[in-house]
Amino acid sequence: MRNIWLFVLLLLVSNLTYSQWVALDEGEYLIHRVWMYNDTARVCETKIAEELYDYYQKERDHYFYRYEMEGKQIGDNRESFVFSEQGKPVVRDLARKLEAIARSETDKVEVALSYVQSLPYSYDSTSKGKDEYVRYPIETLVDGCGDCEDKPVLLAAILHEMNIDFVLLMAPNHMAVGVNCEPHYDATGFMFNGKKYYYAETTEIDFKIGQVPDNVALARIEVLPCDAAPVLIVKDVWFESQPALLFEKTSCVLEMALQNLGPSKITGLRIHVALVTKSRRGERVLAEEYRELVDLPECKQRSERITFKSLIKEKSVFQLELSGNNIATQHFEYEMNYSHTRRF
């Protein structure tokens, strides 16, 4: 505690608007952050397990930031970063501490915004040595810095834990947060789904809710809702059938690599596979298999293997359906030939 107040004193004497001290003690990062809000120095302490920080450093390769599925760039929506499950307890604890400073719902937004604004801006190439690197909230807190993607992601995560409605606002080469609240003054907002979301700029110190930077004010801004539902992708499909005599059923093996892009665990995962032959008379099912799969955690990949016996005819197709309690149902169809091994 003595170190914290000494830190505050140094802040006031040096007339800084923010400062952060991070220490690693017994497997935990102790983060002491001091910043100015309403002309008063505020202090917030956050503890983050080293193991949790390492988790995001090492596991991030499982999230394809620009993975395209059916024409949609999943990474552009940022849900996997905003709602990431493992870091929720830390962000929730931070949100409660910031709420304690506020006196109203709008104050909650202003306190959270001022906290995130106080984090220095840092280019990815400078702080991470990469041209493009989106930080998870845990990384931004420990690193003590971020750019125009990292800081909005952190603010959005905090607002979510405060139960405050928000959207993401995308401008060319820039991102901000839109907040559904009641500003204390005139503010710029955007209508979306019958609600007004006020602009919240995270990269400028002391910018108020609804205040838009000059370089963004004339740009086209796109409103993006944030959905906490996880996204499942099929990374690879492999099929093998053993040779068989004419009109004899052959042993077939279908193997798939499934990946959960997050932001939470996929529950109730189910698969339906059908081998279908098509003709002028319509479709005929040669074989099908239903299976309930084990839940797939966020940021994880797993192979699933299904074996069955069937005739393999000309113009046969594999129809694959994946569904779950909290994911959108997906349908795939693969053309088949006679007995062979094939990777789709």
Q: What structural domains and CATH numbers belong to the chain?
A: 2-224 (3.10.620), 232-343 (2.60.40.10)
| CA gap 156, 177 in Å, rounded | 7
Q: What angle do CA 261, 265, 266 make, to 5 degrees?
A: 85
| CA gap 100, 67 in Å, rounded | 39
* pLDDT of the residue at 314: 63
Omega within 30 of 0 (cis) for the link into 263:
yes
Any idea which residue has 């170190």 for tokens?
3
Q: Which of 133, 213, 117 is nearest to 172 (CA)?
A: 213
**Residue 41 corresponds to which tokens in the numbers above?**
């120095």
Give residue-wise pLDDT tens across range 232-287. 888 888 887 776 555 677 778 888 899 888 888 999 999 998 888 877 787 888 88
Q: Which helix (H) or strand (E) holds 57?
A: helix 50-59
Give residue-wise pLDDT tens across range 276-293. 887 778 788 888 889 999
- Torsion sign over Cα 190, 193, 195, 198: negative
Q: Which of 138, 136, 167, 158 is nearest to 149 (CA)?
A: 136
Give residue-wise pLDDT tens across range 41-76. 999 999 999 999 998 888 665 444 444 444 444 445
| CA gap 151, 124 in Å, rounded | 12
Strands of 87-147 (E only): list them.
none
* pLDDT of the residue at 319: 87
Any idea which residue has 């003595």 for tokens?
2
* pLDDT of the residue at 243: 63
Helix (H, G, I), strand (E, B) or coil at 163: coil
* pLDDT of the residue at 184: 77
| CA gap 177, 149 in Å, rounded | 10
| CA gap 330, 320 in Å, rounded | 8
- The answer for 144, left when phi > 0, alpha when psi is -120 to 50, beta otherwise, is left
By the 10 Å C-beta count (0-12 exposed, 13-18 middle, 19+ buried), 64 is classed as middle
Find residue 34's DSSP bridge partners: 19, 43
* pLDDT of the residue at 339: 46
Low-confidence ranges of the chain (pLDDT < 50): 1-15, 62-75, 338-339, 344
**Start-to-end CA span in the chain (Å):** 60
Residue 36: CB atoms within 10 Å: 19
DSSP class of 209? T
Integer CA distances (angstroms), 20 to 65, 106, 114, 121, 141, in order: 29, 25, 14, 14, 10
Any idea which residue has 């807190």 for tokens?
141
* pLDDT of the residue at 334: 78
